[in-house]
């Protein structure tokens, strides 16, 4: 690792849409994604003259859950304020947010550093604010230089969580986001599957140099990419003797690069002042009544203890609430084998196909049956993977009729007794004298070649361990 990299300082501002039914200050439905533009708006979220905000209690309840789960200190009095600036997506020319008096301050999140050791990252503050509308067309020569705006998103509740600049690498940043995402999911306040439901601003600097802010990154991967790009850019600049300008940069998701925002945009004076239309909030008593569910770390530890599974498996499985619930639903098939199938095989196969976890969680019994087939030695591990792939391919194609057992039958993948392969083993040995000679000369792995040939020939119906034993026996060992 280069010297500069150990000196990278990263802080994040994470905005997540809270999964309420209605918007933050009005009763418009927050479930707007599938609907026509400007159909989820009312005088309040359209900023019509005379309309007034009324605070959604659930949005605050959700934010309090998050703050409690992240060990924050609650402020005596939370106060909404106005952040004044002009932009076509902002209906009132101010965003109702929280300034000097957020809901909570302090707190921390535990992640792992790049060496795998636990690391505590401090939080600065947590507050709630409204999302602006969405620009769908920013002006072009072809379509005209104007902008087109959809205000359906205007007024969706956001929780903003700000970390101290204590992260040391893009990977740490990504792990923090995953942890945060899992926590919010466990708290039942956030739906990460919704498009654009998370947005991140990242501050990054090299010790002794100016800080750069990268605005509005809209995916976990994007954060890691943007930071990685920024590290390279800044490192090169420093090496060439240049100076890092304190500035705001935008991330181009497609190119994976950042570019300087015009200084005009950053020089704004937001003229914060308390929102006169909203009374302050006092949450001390309320917070006492909030009971937290089991959180990712606690569940990880419980899984390790209760099911005796490895820390890596436990961490992966509990890192996603739905995965953890899915695992617990099938755990009676055998905790260790189930953990391995879920964490080592299933996730990769789903990601490879771009399939959602829900495809499988709704058919947990079939997945469980598949693992049973392997456990009972009806099929080999390898055949099991093959069956999973076929099953997923079927589901991907919309075919939900064939069960894993039927796939095994159709493809004739049932494990056969080792003795039925004796002929194949003998033939393979006969045509590979060199490998046997190499083995006898002490060359490691020479037999593996022969075993591999046999496995290939038997199309996964044989168990490597058994073939290995048979080969050893036949060459007289």
Partner 1 sequence: MPDIYNAFLSRIEISSSVSGPLSGIRVAVKDNISTKNIPTTCASKILLGYIPPYDAHAVELLKAAGATIAGKTNMDEFGMGTTTENSAFCPALNPRDVTRVAGGSSGGSAAAVAGGLVPMALGSDTGGSIRCPASYCGIVGLKPSYGRVSRYGLIAYANSFEQIGPMAANVADTAKLFSVIAGHDSRDSTSVSKPYDLTGLYAGIKGKIVGVPKEYFGEGVDKHVAAAVTAAIDRLEDLGAAIREVSLPSLQYALAAYYVTCTCEASSNLDRFDGVRYGPEPEMNLPWHDAYTSVRKMGFGPEVRRRILLGTFSLSAGHYGKYYVKAQHAKQLIRRDFFRVLTDCDLLAGPTMPNVAPKLGELIADPLQMYQTDILTVPVNIAGIPAISVPCGTAHGMPVGLQLMGRMFGEDDLLNAALAYEEAI
Partner 2 sequence: MVSKNEVLHTAKLADIGIDTSELGNFTEQLNAILEYFDILDTLSADDVLERPLVNVFREDNVSTSLPQEDVLRNSHNPEDGYIRAPRVI
Per CB under 8 A, residues contacting partner 2 are 20-22, 26-29, 36-43, 46, 54-60, 77, 86-88, 135-139, 145-151, 269, 271, 278-282
Q: In whole angstroms, how close is the CB of 204 to partner 2 at the nearest point?
A: 25
Of 55, 40, 35, give the one whose Cα is nearest residue 130. Answer: 55
From partner 2, partner 1, none, interface partner of 276 (C-beta below 5 to 8 A by class): partner 1
CA 191 to the chain's CA centroid: 11
From partner 1, partner 2, none, interface partner of 272 (C-beta below 5 to 8 A by class): partner 1
Helix ranges, 187-219 (H): none
Alpha-carbon span 369 to 404, nearest angstrom: 7
Which DSSP category does 200 fall into?
Answer: E
Residue with tokens 């600036």: 85
Q: In whole angstroms, how close is the CB of 87 to partner 1 at the nearest point?
A: 7
Residue with tokens 């501002």: 13
From partner 2, partner 1, none, interface partner of 388 (C-beta below 5 to 8 A by class): none
Residue with tokens 């969680």: 361
From partner 1, partner 2, none, interface partner of 92 (C-beta below 5 to 8 A by class): partner 1
DSSP 3-state of 20: coil
From partner 1, partner 2, none, interface partner of 39 (C-beta below 5 to 8 A by class): partner 2
From partner 1, partner 2, none, interface partner of 109 (C-beta below 5 to 8 A by class): none
Check if the beta carbon of residue 129 is closer than 8 Å to that of residue 90: no
Nearer to partner 2, 57 or 422 (CB): 57
DSSP 3-state of 145: coil
From partner 2, partner 1, none, interface partner of 290 (C-beta below 5 to 8 A by class): none
Q: In whole angstroms, how close is the CB of 61 to partner 1 at the nearest point?
A: 17
Nearer to partner 1, 52 or 120 (CB): 52
Q: In whole angstroms, how close is the CB of 270 to partner 2 at the nearest point?
A: 10
Alpha-carbon span 34 to 42, nearest angstrom: 18
Q: In whole angstroms, how close is the CB of 103 to partner 2 at the nearest point?
A: 13
Q: In whole angstroms, how close is the CB of 406 to partner 2 at the nearest point?
A: 44
Nearer to partner 1, 25 or 220 (CB): 25
Nearer to partner 2, 46 or 469 (CB): 46
Of 277, 378, 206, give the one whose Cα is nearest residue 25. Answer: 277
Q: In whole angstroms, how close is the CB of 324 to partner 2 at the nearest point?
A: 26
Please report, as ranges, the residues that interact with partner 1 according to CB under 8 A: 43, 46-55, 82, 84, 86-88, 91-94, 144-147, 149, 269, 271-273, 276-279
Alpha-carbon span 372 to 361, nearest angstrom: 17
Q: In whole angstroms, how close is the CB of 132 to partner 1 at the nearest point?
A: 13
Q: What string of DSSP letters covers 338-396?
A: HHHIIIIIIHHHHHHHT--THHHHTTHHHHHHHHHHHHTTSS-HHHHHHHHHHHHHHHH
Nearer to partner 2, 38 or 124 (CB): 38
| Beta pairing class for 104-105 and 134-137 | unpaired
Nearer to partner 2, 44 or 338 (CB): 44
Longest dimension (CA), the chain: 94
């Amino acid at each position: 690792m280069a010297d500069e990299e150990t000196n990278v300082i990263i802080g994040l501002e994470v905005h997540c849409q809270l999964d309420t039914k209605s918007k933050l200050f009005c009763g418009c439905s927050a479930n707007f994604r599938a609907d026509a533009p400007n159909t989820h708006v009312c005088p309040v979220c359209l900023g019509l003259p005379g309309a007034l905000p009324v605070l959604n209690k659930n949005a605050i309840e959700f934010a309090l859950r998050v703050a409690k789960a992240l060990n924050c200190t609650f402020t005596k009095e939370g106060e909404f304020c106005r952040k004044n600036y002009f932009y076509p997506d902002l209906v009132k020319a101010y965003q109702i947010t929280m300034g000097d008096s957020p809901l909570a301050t302090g707190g921390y999140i535990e992640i792992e550093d790049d060496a795998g050791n636990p690391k505590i990252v401090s939080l600065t503050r947590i507050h709630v604010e409204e999302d602006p509308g969405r620009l769908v067309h920013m002006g072009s020569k072809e379509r005209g230089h104007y902008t087109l705006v959809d205000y359906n998103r205007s007024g969706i509740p956001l929780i903003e969580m700000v970390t101290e600049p204590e992260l040391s690498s893009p990977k740490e940043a990504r792990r923090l986001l995953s942890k945060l995402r899992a926590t919010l999911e466990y708290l039942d306040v956030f739906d990460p599957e919704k498009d654009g439901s998370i947005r991140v601003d990242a501050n990054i600097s090299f010790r002794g140099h100016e800080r750069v802010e990268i605005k509005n990154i809209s995916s976990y991967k994007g954060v890691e990419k943007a930071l990685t790009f920024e590290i390279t850019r800044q490192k090169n600049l420093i090496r060439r003797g240049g100076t890092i300008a304190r500035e705001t940069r935008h991330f181009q998701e497609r190119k994976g690069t950042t570019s300087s925002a015009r200084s005009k945009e950053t020089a704004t004076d937001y003229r914060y002042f308390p929102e006169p239309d909203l009374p302050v909030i006092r949450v001390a008593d309320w917070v006492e009544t909030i009971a937290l569910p089991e959180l990712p770390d606690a569940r990880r530890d419980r899984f390790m203890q209760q099911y005796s599974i490895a820390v890596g498996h436990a961490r992966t499985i509990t890192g996603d609430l739905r995965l953890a619930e899915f695992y617990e639903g099938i755990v009676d098939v055998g905790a260790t084998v189930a953990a391995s199938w879920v964490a080592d095989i299933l996730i990769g196969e789903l990601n490879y196909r771009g399939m959602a976890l829900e495809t499988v969680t709704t058919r947990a019994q079939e997945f469980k049956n598949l693992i049973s087939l392997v456990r009972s030695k009806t099929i080999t591990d390898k055949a099991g993977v093959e069956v999973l792939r076929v099953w997923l391919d079927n589901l991907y194609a919309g075919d939900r009729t064939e069960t894993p057992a039927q796939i095994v039958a159709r493809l004739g993948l049932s494990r056969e007794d080792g003795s039925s392969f004796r002929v194949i083993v003998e033939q393979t040995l006969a045509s590979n004298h060199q490998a046997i000679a190499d083995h006898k000369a002490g060359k490691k792995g020479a037999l593996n070649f022969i075993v591999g040939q046999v496995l290939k020939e038997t199309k996964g119906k044989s168990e490597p361990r058994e073939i290995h034993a048979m080969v050893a026996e036949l060459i007289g060992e």
